[in-house]
Structure 1
Amino acid sequence: MAANSPPSSGTAPTTAELIERLATSFGLYYGDFTLAAATVGLTPSQAKALSVLRGAPAPMRALATTLACDASNITGIVDRLEKRELVRREPSATDRRVKNVVLTALGEETIDTVRARMHGTLGALDTLDDADRGALYALLGRVFPHGTGGSGSTG
C-alpha cells in the first residue's frame, strides 16, 4: 500500500494496514529523532532517556523498563548523561536504596533542542490544521493511553 493510498477494502483500513502505517510512521519519526539526537552528541538511547525524564523523574529500574534495556545498560546511559550534567541522581524520598534520575535544566534544554531539530517530523505536523491536530492527538491518546503521561517514550 502506498503512503497515501486508501485502504485496499475501500472502507476502513484493516488492522494489518494500520500496523503498516504505524510502522512506517514510527520508523520515519525514529530516524528523525536519531539524526536530531546526533546533532547534540547523544545516542538514541540517551536522547530517549532525556525525553522520558522530560515528563517526570524516574527511578533507575523504571527508566530501564521504559527504555526496554537491562539495568546495567541504564547505569551506563545515566553515567554518560550525568557526566554531561544533563541528569542527576537523587535518593528517593520514600526509599533511600532507590535512586531517582532527574532531568537538569541543561538536560531539559538539550531534549528541547533535539525535538526542535526534528525537521521531518515538524514539517509533517505543520501540514495539519488545528482540527486534524486535535483529532490526531485524541486518537493517539486512545490508541496509546499509557503514553500520554509526560512526554511519551521516544522523543
Structure 2
Amino acid sequence: MKNLKNIRTVLFAALTLGITSMASAQTSGDIQNYDQKFKLGFGINGGLPTDNAYDWALGGDVRLQYDLSKRTSVTLTTGFTNLFMGDDVDDLGFIPAKAGFKAFIWEDQFYVLGEVGAGFAVTNGYNDTTLLWAPGIGYAGKNIDISVRYEDYHKFETNQVALRVAYGFEL
C-alpha cells in the first residue's frame, strides 16, 4: 500500500510540474497564432499489475484529441481491455470511457496526461462499472505516440502499469 501511495505522489508531482512549466512558458501570442485541430489515434495497450489480482492485460483503444494550443490538448478515449486472471477465475473484459488533459512539457514532444472516467465490464458475467483514473507520461512524434501510465480500477479492486503504442493523424 505504501508503494501505491508513493507512485500516486510521484505522478501527481510530475503532472503538477508539467502544467506549471507549460503555463509559465507560454505567452498569449503562442495561443493566438496556433491553428487548433483534432487528431485521432489508434493504440495497442499491454499492462502488468501492481498487485496480484490478475496476471496481465491487453487492449486496444481509440483516442480523439483536440489541441487547445501548441502545448495543451483535451482527450476522449475508449476501446476494450481484457484483464487475464489465471486458470481458476474468468477473465474480465471491459470498455473504458475516459476524458483527459494532455500537457506537453519538453520540446513539444514529451507530455504528461491525466484521464478519468468509467470502465464498463462486458464479459464472463461481470456486471460492474468502475471509476478509473490514469495519470501517465509519453512521447508523441508526427504519427507515433508511446506512453506509460498507471491505471486504477476502483471497483474491480486492481490496477496496472500499462504501455501504449499508437498511430495517430490529424483530421
Q: Normalising by the residue count of structure 2, what TM-score does the alignment of the two structures yield? A: 0.24
Q: Which has the higher helix share?
A: 1
**More contact order relative to length (CA 8 Å, sep ≥ 6):** 1
Larger Rg, first or second structure (1 or 2):
1
